[in-house]
Amino acid sequence: MTLRRIGRFIIGLVIAIVLLGLVLPLIGIPKSHFLPPSWVYAKAEKVTGGRIVKVYNPVTNDPFKVGEHMYFIDYVFQAPDPVTGAKQTYNGTVRLTQELYQTSKVDESVPVRYEKTYPWINGVDVADAGLGCGEGSNILSGWLIWVLVSIVMAYIIGQILGKYGVQEDY
């Protein structure tokens, strides 16, 4: 009985994900808002020039790597606002390797790749840099809302499948 419920939930989850993937873009919500930021960044095509505004290397808070440093740069770039189309300034932060960090300087220009429908998903477009760790690019950003919506829909669809699906006599 429990395996049947799990099976119905999984079937409901697949149906919910497909439905959300088809319906949300039709009602005006771009895929960049409900897919994981790393997937969106991998498909981002817009590239613009940015400028490094801060270079820093704090000590890691990982208790297993005491004394090690992390290497970051903060950068700014301009891109069209997805709603109005007017130029807007966006900020970004990206973690670098030590070698790349040592060659980075304040006021140096960097290529920035971003998603045109959601410029908050951005990163430095050079090897060993990539996706930023800012507002929209963060793993704990708005896309998790759609994961929760998918789970709720999967539960509801699973209940409907259980009620109207094939019934067995015990």
Percent of the chain as helix, strand, coil, to the nearest 5? 35, 30, 35
Domain ranges of the chain: 3-32+144-160, 44-139
CATH architecture of the domain formed by 44-139: Beta Barrel (2.40)
- The model's pTM is 0.81
Predicted confidence band of residue 9 (pLDDT cuts 50, 70, 90) = very high
Q: DSSP letter at 87? A: E
Which segments of the chain are extended strands (E)?
46-56, 71-80, 87-96, 109-115, 118-124, 130-131
Rounded mean pLDDT, 10-20: 95
Is 60 exceeded by the pLDDT of residue 170? Answer: no
Report pLDDT digits (tens) over 98-135: 999 999 999 999 999 999 999 999 999 998 888 998 77
* Angstrom distance (rounded) from CA 85 to CA 55: 30
Compute, in degrees rounded to 10, the torsion defined by CA atoms 7, 12, 18, 20: -150
User: Rounded CA gap, 147 and 17, in Å?
Assistant: 9
pLDDT at 169: 52
- Assigned token pair, 139: 């793993």
**For residues 13 and 150, is the Cβ–Cβ distance under 8 A?**
yes
Proportion of the chain above pLDDT 90, given as a percent? 72
Beta bridge partners of 77: 50, 90
* The pLDDT of residue 168: 58
Which residues fall within 8 angstroms of residue 26, CB to CB, at 6 or more apart? none
